[in-house]
Chains A and B, each alone.
Chain A
Amino acid sequence: MNRQIERWRTWVWVLPAVVLLVVFVYYPIVDNIRLSFFSWSAFSTSPAFVGLDNYTTAATDPVFWHSLWNNVLYAVISLIFQVGLALVLAAVLEEVVHQRLRGILRTIYFIPATISITVAGILFSFVYNPQIGLLNRALGAVGLGSLAQDWLGNPQTAIFGVIGMSQWQSIGYTAVLFVVAIQRIPRELYEAAKVDGAGHVRTFLSVTIPLLREMTTLVVILTMSGAFLVFNEIMVMTAGGPSNSSQVLNTWLYHNAFLTDDMGYASAIGTVIFVITFSISAAQILITRRRRVQW
C-alpha cells in the first residue's frame, strides 16, 4: 500500500505540465469542436444548437474557399523555396564553399529567421510601399519600372507579396536544417562517390538527396502545416484585404470571431484548420516512425 502511494507521488514531477496542457491546450480545442455546432456571439447568453449549419455556411462561403486556396498557394510556393531551393542551397554551401566563408554565409541566410514576423511584415510592407518602397525603385533601376505598382494594395498581387516576404524569412532557416543533416552523412560516402567518378550534381542526386529523406520529410511537413497556420504576416501586411483577396483560414476565423462576431461559424473554421493540421502532423509521425535512416 505504502509502496503504491510512494509510486504515485512521483506524479508531482509531471503534474504542472499535464495540468497546463489539459486545461489550456486540450480542453479549448475539444470545446472548439463542440461550439462549432452552435450559433452564438460573444454577447449572446444562450448559444442555439444548429447542427451542421456552420459547416454548410462554410461550404457555400466563397471567401472560405478562397482562403483555403490561399493556404494551398502558400504551401506550394513555400515547398518550392523552403524545401527545393533550400536543399540545393545547403548542398552547395557544404560541398562547394570554403569552411570559413560557409559559416558567414550560413549566418547571413539565417538572420531573417530570428526577426519576428511582425517586424519582417511591417518592414516588407515598407519594401512594397509605392511611395518609399525599395521594390519599385529597384525595378525602376534595372529598367523594369513599368512593373512598379502598389503590391499590397492590388488584389491580384497582395497574397504573393506576403508569400514573398515569408520565403525571404524562412529559406535560410530550412537551409540550415538541411546543412546540419548533410553534416551527419558519413564523409566516406562522398569519398566513395568521388572515386566512382560522380560529379557534384550526380553526388547530390544519388548520395545527398536519398540520405536526407528523413529531414526532407520533416521539413516538408513543417512547411505544409506552417502554411495552414499562417496568420501573423497576413494581419500585419494586408489584414486579409484588399476585399478579402489575401484572406487565409486563420485570418478568416479571426475576422468572423472578433470583427463580425459570428463565433459559431468561426469555431467551425477552427475545426477545419484543426483537421487539416492534425492530419499533416499525424502523417509526419507515421512516416518518420516507419523509415528512420540509421547509420
Chain B
Amino acid sequence: MVTTDPTATIPKARQRRGNAIPANRGPGLRQAIGKWLIWLALAILAVLVIYPLLWMVFSSFKDNGEVFGHPFGLPGQLRWHNFVEAGNAGVVRYFTNSVIVTAGSILTTTLFSAWAAYGLVRLNIPFGGPVVLLLLGGLMLAPTVALIPLFGLLQQLHIYNTLWALLVLYTAFRIPFTTFLIRAYMIDLPPDVDEAAILDGASRSQIFWQIILPMCRPILVSAALLQALFAWNEFVFALVFLSDSNLKTLPVGLMDMQSRLLTNWPVQFAGLTMAALPMLVLFLIGQRQFLRGLTEGMGK
C-alpha cells in the first residue's frame, strides 16, 4: 500500500548518504502513485459504505417502476406519500414504542448505574469487591442464554407482552456496562469537593445530586447516547417477549412489515429510512460523546 522505499519519506537522510537514486524523479513519482492508490482505495471504500444507504434514501422517494428501471438514478420526484404510507403501515406505532422504551431505559439505566457507581467509588460500601465482580460477570453474560428462563419469569411477573418487560431487561442487561463507564469517570474526580461538602453538613444524597452528578455530566451524556443506541436497536428480547403487534418496537416491527408489504418496495425503503434517521442524527450531533463512551467503556 504505502511506498516501501524507506528513503522516500526522508529526503534529507538520502542526501546525506548520497546514495545512487536520482535526486528527483524516481521516489517522488513512486510516492505520488502510492498516495494516489491510497486515495483511490479510501474513496472506493467510502462509496461502498455509503452507497447502499443513499440507495435506500433515494428509493424511498421512487415508485415501483423507478426502483426496477433506474436503480442507480435519482428519484423523478419527491414522493413524500411513501413515508405517509409507511407510517400508516405501522412505522409510527413502532416508532412510538421504541421512543418509550428507549427514553425510559435511558433514565433507569443511567440513574441506577450512577447510584451504584457512587456507592462503589465514594461511599466504600461493605462488600464492594463482590459487587464489582458481580457487575464484571454481568458484562460477560450473553442475553440469548437467559431467553428461555426469562420467558417463564416474565410471565410469572405478569409483564410478559408489555413494554415493561423490555424496560426492565434493557436496564438490567446494560447496568454492568454503564456502571463501569460512570465508575471509571468518578474515580478520577477530585475527592476534596465532597469532603468539603461533608464538613458543611451536606447529606450523602445532597452530595450526589448537587455535586457528583453535575460533575459527571459529560460521561452521563455518553452513557445515555450508548444506551439509546442499544435500546433503539435491540432485537432478541423485543422479538421473544412481545407478541402483540401493537407493542412491537422498530427492529421487530420492521421485520413484520417486510413480510406484510412484500413487493411494495418504495414504502419499505421509506420505513427503513424513517427507522434509521433518529440514531444517525443523534450520532452526527453527539459524535464526540459517542466515541468517548465507546472507548472509555472498553478500556476499563
What residues of chain A have their CB less than 8 Å away from a CB belonging to chain B? 7-8, 10-14, 16-18, 20-29, 31-32, 35, 42, 88-89, 92-93, 96-97, 105, 107-112, 114-119, 122-127, 131-132, 134, 137, 168, 171-172, 176-177, 180-181, 194, 197-202, 204, 215, 218, 222, 225, 228-229, 231-232, 235-236, 250, 253-254, 257-258, 263, 266-267, 270-271, 273-274, 277-278, 281-282, 285
Contact = CB atoms under 8 A, between A and B. Distances in A.
B41 to A, nearest CB: 8
Q: Which 3 A-B pairs have the closest CB atoms?
A: A13-B119, A28-B146, A116-B233
B88 interface: no
6 contacts: A14-B131, A20-B175, A109-B45, A199-B7, A250-B236, A278-B141
B48 to A, nearest CB: 7
A229 B173 CA distance: 15
B9 interface: yes
B35 A96 contact: yes
Interface of B: 1-10, 13, 35, 38, 42, 45-46, 48-53, 55-56, 67-68, 71-72, 112-113, 115-116, 118-120, 123-126, 131, 134-151, 153, 168-169, 171-173, 175-176, 179, 204, 208, 229, 232-233, 235-236, 239-240, 250-252, 254-255, 258, 263, 265, 268-269, 272, 275-276, 279-280, 282-284, 287, 291, 294-295, 298-299
A115 B172 contact: no
B165 to A, nearest CB: 10
B125 A11 contact: yes
A25 B146 contact: yes
B272 A122 contact: yes
B298 A177 contact: yes
B275 A116 contact: yes
Contacts of B250: 116, 118
B255 A29 contact: no
B172 A197 contact: no
Nearest to B265: A132
Nearest to A282: B140
A118 B251 contact: yes
Given A108-B50, A114-B279, A180-B291, A21 B138 contact: yes
B283 A111 contact: yes
B236 A118 contact: no
B135 A17 contact: yes
A25 B177 CA distance: 13
Instruction: Classify the secondary structure of A's interface with B.
Output: helix
A184 to B, nearest CB: 9
Given A25-B141, A92-B1, A132-B68, A108 B280 contact: no
Contacts of A228: 142
B145 A270 contact: yes
A119 B275 CA distance: 7
B146 A232 contact: no
A201 B4 contact: yes
Contacts of B149: 27-29, 31-32, 35
Contacts of B52: 123-124, 127, 134, 168
B272 A119 contact: yes
A107 B287 contact: yes
Contact of B139 (A31, A267, A281): A281
B119 A11 contact: yes
Nearest to A34: B149
A134 B55 contact: yes
B254 A89 contact: no
A222 B13 CA distance: 42
Contacts of A22: 134
A126 B142 contact: no
B280 A114 contact: yes
A191 to B, nearest CB: 12
Contacts of A176: 291, 294
Given A134-B71, A271-B145, A111 B280 contact: yes
B265 A274 contact: no
B142 to A, nearest CB: 5
Given A16-B116, A122-B268, 12 more contacts: A10-B124, A17-B116, A24-B173, A25-B173, A96-B2, A117-B235, A119-B276, A197-B10, A200-B9, A232-B235, A253-B147, A270-B147
A21 B134 contact: yes
Nearest to A194: B10
Contacts of A194: 9-10
A180 B125 CA distance: 34
A127 B142 CA distance: 30
A186 to B, nearest CB: 17
Contacts of B265: 126, 132
Contacts of B279: 114-116
B257 to A, nearest CB: 9
Contact of A229 (B2, B139, B144): B144
B172 A199 contact: no
Given A118-B250, A131-B68, A24 B169 contact: yes
Contacts of B38: 92, 96
Nearest to B115: A13
A254 B265 CA distance: 29
B138 A109 contact: no
A32 B116 contact: no
B141 A29 contact: yes
B236 to A, nearest CB: 6
B141 A92 contact: no
